[in-house]
Amino acid sequence: MHNLHVLIHQTRPFHQIRLHQAFNAQGLYNVRLSDDVGEIISDLARGQPADLLVLDHGMARQEALPLFARLASVASTRALLFVGQAQAGASLAHEARRHGLRVLVDVPWPRLAVALGRALDGLAQGVQRPLAKLSC
């Protein structure tokens, strides 16, 4: 598999560790962690793109929308992957798509392994259509 650059944004350390381990189990080792949206935007400005940006579906909307706008303007991220459950009536995946971003998949928490493997296969093969919600 292409050595994908993965950036995980999670505010909960336990979730960061679990996601990092899940990517390592898929053979991906170029994984960075972030618990600050400002840090992600700074990384993009410094030319440190990510092939895959993993976001928590529960992140605050006021953090997510500026991030989506920045991602859409620099086009340095190939795809987004959302983990967890969307808040009632506020799907961040839908908002990201409205910004023209490619949402690879919504992965349920904590059942990651199978859904993550399928999503990464699609990304590695260059599947261009966004995948619907995968369930394990």
- Residue 116: φ, ψ to 5°: -65, -45
The Cα–Cα gap between 77 and 89 comes to 26
Task: Return the pLDDT at 77.
Answer: 83
Please tell me the predicted confidence (pLDDT) of residue 132.
Answer: 38
Would you say the pTM of this structure is higher than 0.85?
A: no
Report the CATH fold assignment for 6-124.
Rossmann fold (3.40.50)
Q: Find residue 52's DSSP bridge partners.
A: 6, 79
- Specify the pLDDT at position 10: 86
The residue assigned the tokens 């459950």 is 85
Q: Give the pLDDT of residue 49.
A: 78
Mean pLDDT by 10 residues, the chain (136 residues): 81 85 87 88 81 89 91 85 78 91 80 69 56 37
The DSSP call for residue 35 is: S
What pLDDT does residue 126 have? Answer: 59
